[in-house]
Amino acid sequence: MHLIGGNLNYSSWTLRPWYLLTEAGIPFEWTRILLDTPNFKSEVAQFAPNGRVPILIDGAITLWESLAICEYVNERHNGKLLPENSEARALARAISSEMHAGFSALRAGLPVNIRARRTVSIDAPIQRDIQRVTELWSDAKTRFGSSGPWLFGAFSIADAMYMPVVSRFHTYGVPLSGPAHDYAQHVLTTDSYQKLERLAAAETEIVEQDEVGTPR
Ligand SMILES: N[C@@H](CCC(=O)N[C@@H](CS)C(=O)NCC(=O)O)C(=O)O
């Protein structure tokens, strides 16, 4: 498999399949296309027609859209990256779609910036998104997640979809409590996340519009 993505420090959509593959121990070839550069679109066009990253190439198959890529990787791994129980699997898909389609205030106000530690002002729409995320993490953990540290016990696509949110909360010091706090701490201490932090810290490019807030 070949994953084509943006800067690991900033590219929230890239991070989802990157983390899925890395945490699941699935080997992949990696190509980075720098966001916010004049050649971005033409470089992406060499791989896929949609004009955005991430892109996954597997033999004759070329895919885009982070959630579709995660679903494909799951299929190729015998469905092991979604919960076995059908009710849990349905919820994992619902919250993954909710992430993919929603949380626009959170995504705009707290851009992914893995290596930064910042303070930003949290307005009401962002606070509502934070509240909803912590509620849905707690709900998944309470109903289906008691057998392990992930949202549904074992690692799944849902964890990969929410990893950039964990990272945002870490970057901007969003206070968490209870199951949401424990879950976020788990993600941050995984070898895959630690590897991501090292790779992001080694990147030198700056995407100005994602550098928000003041240092803390
Ligand atoms: N819905 C897409 C969103 C992809 C996306 O917006 N990617 C960003 C990088 S994180 C991008 O390629 N931005 C460059 C651009 O839109 O020109 C997905 O889930 O993959």
Instruction: Tell me the CATH number at 21.
Output: 3.40.30.10
Judge whether 12 and 39 are in contact, CB under 8 Å: no
Backbone phi, then psi, for 56, in 5-degree steps?
-120, 130
Geometric angle at alpha carbon 67, from 69 and 143, rounded to 5°: 125
Q: How confident is the model at residue 101 (pLDDT cuts 50, 70, 90)?
A: very high
Classify residue 107: in a domain, yes or no.
yes
CA-based nearest residue to 24, from 1, 53, 5: 1
Distance 133 CA to ligand 1 centre (A): 21
3-state SS class at 195: helix
Residue 6: CB within 6 Å of ligand 1? yes
Q: How confident is the model at residue 197 (pLDDT cuts 50, 70, 90)?
A: very high
Q: Are residues 160 and 117 in the same domain?
A: yes
Classify residue 41: in a domain, yes or no.
yes
pLDDT in tens, 134-149: 999 999 999 999 999 9
pLDDT in tens, 20-34: 999 999 999 999 999
pLDDT in tens, 36-81: 999 999 999 999 999 999 999 999 999 999 999 999 999 999 999 9
Task: Determine the pLDDT at residue 137.
Answer: 98
Classify residue 215: in a domain, yes or no.
no
Distance 50 CA to ligand 1 centre (A): 9
Query: Ligand 1, atom 16: nearest CA belongs to which residue?
Result: 52
Q: Are residues 96 and 184 in the same domain?
A: yes
Classify residue 49: in a domain, yes or no.
yes
Q: Are residues 97 and 66 in the same domain?
A: no
Helix, strand and coil percent figures for the chain, each rounded to 5: 55, 10, 35
CA–CA dist 81, 117 (Å, integer): 31
Q: Are residues 90 and 171 in the same domain?
A: yes
Q: Are residues 93 and 65 in the same domain?
A: no
**Quick count: other Cβ atoms within 10 Å of Cβ 103?**
21
Task: Determine the pLDDT at residue 24.
Answer: 98
Distance 195 CA to ligand 1 centre (A): 22
Average pLDDT over the chain, rounded to an integer: 98
CA–CA dist 206, 35 (Å, integer): 9
Q: Are residues 108 and 187 in the same domain?
A: yes
Residue 96: CB within 6 Å of ligand 1? no
Task: Determine the pLDDT at residue 149.
Answer: 98
Residue 13: CB within 6 Å of ligand 1? yes
Task: Report percent pLDDT > 90 for the chain.
Answer: 100
Q: Are residues 25 and 63 in the same domain?
A: yes
Structural domain harbouring 14 = 2-79+202-210
Q: Residue 100 belongs to a domain with what CATH number?
A: 1.20.1050.10
Nearest atom in ligand 1 to the alpha carbon of residue 44 is 12
Residue 151: CB within 6 Å of ligand 1? no
Distance 143 CA to ligand 1 centre (A): 32
Nearest atom in ligand 1 to the alpha carbon of residue 53 is 12
Q: Are residues 50 and 134 in the same domain?
A: no
Residue 66: CB within 6 Å of ligand 1? yes
Beta bridge partners of 183: none
DSSP 208: G
Q: Are residues 60 and 96 in the same domain?
A: no
CA–CA dist 154, 108 (Å, integer): 30
Query: Ligand 1, atom 9: nearest CA belongs to which residue?
Result: 11
